[in-house]
Chain A
Amino acid sequence: MADLSIEFAGIKSPNPFWLASAPPTDKAYNVERAFEAGWGGVVWKTLGEDPAAVNVSSRYSAIYDNNGEVSGFNNIELITDRSLEVNLKEIEAVKKAWPDRALVVSLMVPCEEESWKKIVKLVEQTGADGLELNFGCPHGMPERGMGAAVGQVPEYVEMVTRWCKTYSKLPVIVKLTPNITDIRFSARAAKRGGADAVSAINTINSITGIDLDQMSARPMVDGKSTHGGYCGPAVKPIALNMVAEIARDPETAGLPISGIGGIGNWRDAAEFISLGSGSVQVCTAAMIYGFRIVTEMQQGLSNWMDSKGYKKISDFQGLAVPNTTDWKYLNMNYKVVADIDNDKCIGCGRCYIACEDTSHQAIDRKVREDGSVAFEVIEDKCVGCNLCQITCPVDSCIKMEQKDADKPYMNWTQDPRNPYKDAS
């Protein structure tokens, strides 16, 4: 059986599955239940200065997939609304009771050196394993000069990170906000400030939908709403890209990344790890299904690793990074063409109409003598865009087959069709 244990930025954890800083990690009761269920670590929900934050009601909203399952989740909750003292006491007790689990504490205080100095000392005394700086919270806190308001300014990220590194011996993880144009700038700033790791992504500014009867977004607070933080399966592609950007940026390459964003099962976790993440953080999936999901996550990851011959997490960590490149380095000589297996085809015609209306008119529709239809790819017209395969509801009915396999690799910088070839 594969060894799932990790050491992330000096923090040891029996498995890479951590609960992200959020309601599930707001108090000892939940965290203990999580550890009992098997979670490798938690990032305790963000502590702030007293008086504690005050929350509104309601706080969450969601969007759903075709089966009525949550695909995107949104919250307007603030950092912990319990007092600093109570949180610190509980953190200390939990860590004592669960010495083998990772216990990282998320923090957010005003952008003043004294505030950060004071709180990191307090946390250090609890015996916690590390700090996570919350520079991502997109609602409520930025108006007070915290959260994303810091995360969006690389200079602030660097400055606060440096303060924390100055006043604490604990590993510092900087949690990045996705509400920026280029995640690399804040990641680089964190590194310059001395961060031991970054975690990404925090939630994305969002409005999940409008209640058309009440003419207000959700969640509704007495008929009004505000933008919240988006998470859940729907944000995974954005998170994966940001993790990849940090992993393959020469300035931050090698900086440990804790991957966050839409992780709900072992496969999502494996994808984040393959793009360089050293640990993964989960929140929405646990909030929808409860802590027990970590059982299948550990089991699935372990089984998959066994099947691939990976003995430990680092065996496959980052393996997909070198294969994530810039457009200009893609092989211009690589060509695929769709092929439709008419034995598997059920005749829904989705590939045909999608290609006909919106792509390259590369599918021929033939009506057979018995009235049934057959679809055939017109190879000369097919650009290998994948659209037909994406629309097809049948597994492996449409395959993309490689053509001209004998042509050598040639990227855009080498391509004679590139008018700026010499400049690039």
Chain B
Amino acid sequence: MVMSMEMPQGYSQQQLALDQMFKDINPALSARQAGIESSRCYYCYDAPCVTACPSKINIPSFIASIHADDLTGAAKTIYSENIMGGSCARVCPTEILCEQACVRNKEQEKAPVKIGLLQRHATDNAQFVGHPFKRAAATGKTIAVVGAGPAGLSCAHRLALLGNEVEIFEAADKPGGLNEYGIAKYKLTDNFAQKEVEFILGIGGITLHTNKALGKDVSLQQLKDQFDAVFLAIGLQDVPCLKLVNESHPHILNAVDYIKELRQATDISELDVPKDSAVVIGAGNTAIDMACQLKRLGTEEVTLVYRRGTEHMSATVHEQQIAKDHEVRIKTWARPEQINLDDDGSLRSLTFRKTYSDNGQLKDSEESFEINCSAVFKAVGQKFAYPQAEQIIPTISNGKIATFGQQVTSIDGVYAGGDCTSEGQDLTVEAVQQGKLAALAIHHQLSQEA
């Protein structure tokens, strides 16, 4: 998908300033770099990178195509397994997936092929004449997809490709889900998420309804009645709280909300940026994204606090390094204990209790300390919350929708995928794969019924 780098119309100086602040953290390869990098691939037989890729992209094949100067072929190889190959190339934790599996790690040089950047090179520079895929003959079936995030879009695309009609119901006013609202701004620049959605919908046969939330504007019962099958890709909606006094203070914020606001902002003055100091609580990629973005926005001191050690952080070593590169202070073995306000009600500091591990069990120590801050951002995970108004509810296990192989839920004709299910580690690439598998399962099921 060739994306225009020209400025969209009506692009303001403020937007430009904001974009400058959030330039691509991992810039694209030049054609020459890609040529040399692609030659480093050994074209392994039964390649471990493919095994490690949740969406099973034929990595050696697409790299060979890049090396043979067929970027279009390379991109088609990627898209045929992962229609969101463009955003996955940017947001995938390749350091724990394909690139970790690369056999070149086992060589003395210990440097994997830059698979993620090569994937981006192919998807950014391919020259398709029209959409790369042609839809199969119409099946006459119509499927409802709830949620236009990676899982929903992937499922919709594959269903449409197979000849089905799809209607997507999205609660937000823009499609894209996490890619649009939840990924750090420097990872997906230049309005990439929307361009990618446009590309995916380009296959045809997909109708998108925005501002249509499950449990509010549509119900599962209605969808079940009106469509041949339903795919739930509703993601995670809720965030856990710290259960501290004063937690509702306006400067105690959820990181996901702030990131969403930042992603949608067109002017830096729209944002309430803590000037001197901020504390981020959490240890996942969202915490890192939050802390780094605050640094870029100009917050002087950003401290990321986690109750366990760095080795327990769910953010990868690579992500932790990004935080260090942004001069984020990382403080481990401490949990927030008290929110301290000034007499005038403004946030002054956070008191932390030092913790330690006692045979794996987290224990409080005698010591505590205080960090002055004018804002706190909670990034302690996201929770699944099924719409309360819904009459029929699929079986929930481990707090998420249970799936029973092939993305099937406990409700007949209703499938689920992405972060709302209890499968996987909530990665974009896994959501895409689950959406694809659900589409294949739905199509298979409906074809048998026909």
Question: Is A349 within 8 A of B36, CB to CB?
Answer: no
Give the interface segment out of B38-46, B84-92, B162-170, B181-189: B38-46
Query: Would you call the interface of chain A mostly helix, strand, loop, or mixed?
Result: loop
6 A–B pairs (Cβ distance < 8 Å), ordered by A: A66-B67, A67-B36, A346-B107, A347-B44, A352-B45, A353-B45
Question: Is B39 within 8 A of A348, CB to CB?
Answer: no
Interface size class of B (residues with CB under 8 A): 10 to 19
CB contact between B106 and one of A346, A349, A352, A353 (< 8 Å): that residue: A346
Across the interface, which residues of B come within 8 angstroms of A347, CB to CB? 44, 48, 103, 106
CB contact between B43 and one of A67, A350, A352, A371 (< 8 Å): that residue: A350
CB contact between A348 and one of B35, B36, B67, B103 (< 8 Å): that residue: B103
Across the interface, which residues of A come within 8 angstroms of B106, CB to CB? 346-347
Question: Is B32 within 8 A of A349, CB to CB?
Answer: no
Question: Is A349 within 8 A of B39, CB to CB?
Answer: no
Number of interface residues of A (CB under 8 A): 14
Q: Which A33-53 residues have C-beta < 8 A from chain B?
A: none
Cβ-based interface call for A254 (8 A): no
Question: Is A348 within 8 A of B32, CB to CB?
Answer: no
Cβ-based interface call for A322 (8 A): no
Cβ-based interface call for B251 (8 A): no
Cβ-based interface call for B104 (8 A): yes
- Cα–Cα, bound, A371→B42 (Å): 20
Question: Is A349 within 8 A of B45, CB to CB?
Answer: yes
With both chains docked as a complex, state the minimum distance between the C-beta of A19 and any C-beta of chain B, in angstroms: 30
Interface on A for B, CB 8 Å cutoff? 66-68, 346-350, 352-353, 371, 373, 393-394
Across the interface, which residues of A come within 8 angstroms of B42, CB to CB? 348, 350, 393
Across the interface, which residues of A come within 8 angstroms of B104, CB to CB? 346
Question: Is A68 within 8 A of B32, CB to CB?
Answer: yes
CB contact between A346 and one of B43, B51, B103 (< 8 Å): that residue: B103
Question: Is B44 within 8 A of A350, CB to CB?
Answer: yes
Most central of B43, B44, B51 by chain A CB within 10 Å: B44
Interface 1/0s, chain B 228-261, versus A by CB < 8 A?
0000000000000000000000000000000000
Q: Which B336-374 residues have C-beta < 8 A from chain A?
A: none
Across the interface, which residues of B come within 8 angstroms of A348, CB to CB? 42, 44-45, 47, 103
**Additional A-B contact list (12), CB under 8 Å, known A349-B46, A373-B46:** A68-B32, A68-B36, A346-B107, A347-B103, A347-B106, A348-B44, A348-B47, A348-B103, A349-B45, A350-B43, A350-B44, A350-B45
Question: Is B44 within 8 A of A349, CB to CB?
Answer: yes
- Knowing A346-B104, A347-B103, A347-B106 touch, does A68 contact B45 (C-beta < 8 A)? no
- Knowing A346-B104, A347-B106, A348-B103 touch, does A66 contact B44 (C-beta < 8 A)? no
Across the interface, which residues of A come within 8 angstroms of B35, CB to CB? 68
Q: Which B37-72 residues have C-beta < 8 A from chain A?
A: 39, 42-48, 51, 67
With both chains docked as a complex, state the minimum distance between the C-beta of B106 and any C-beta of chain A, in angstroms: 4
Question: Is B107 within 8 A of A394, CB to CB?
Answer: yes
Question: Is B46 within 8 A of A66, CB to CB?
Answer: no
CB contact between B39 and one of A66, A352, A373 (< 8 Å): that residue: A66
Across the interface, which residues of B come within 8 angstroms of A67, CB to CB? 36, 39
- Cα–Cα, bound, A353→B36 (Å): 24
Across the interface, which residues of B come within 8 angstroms of A371, CB to CB? 51
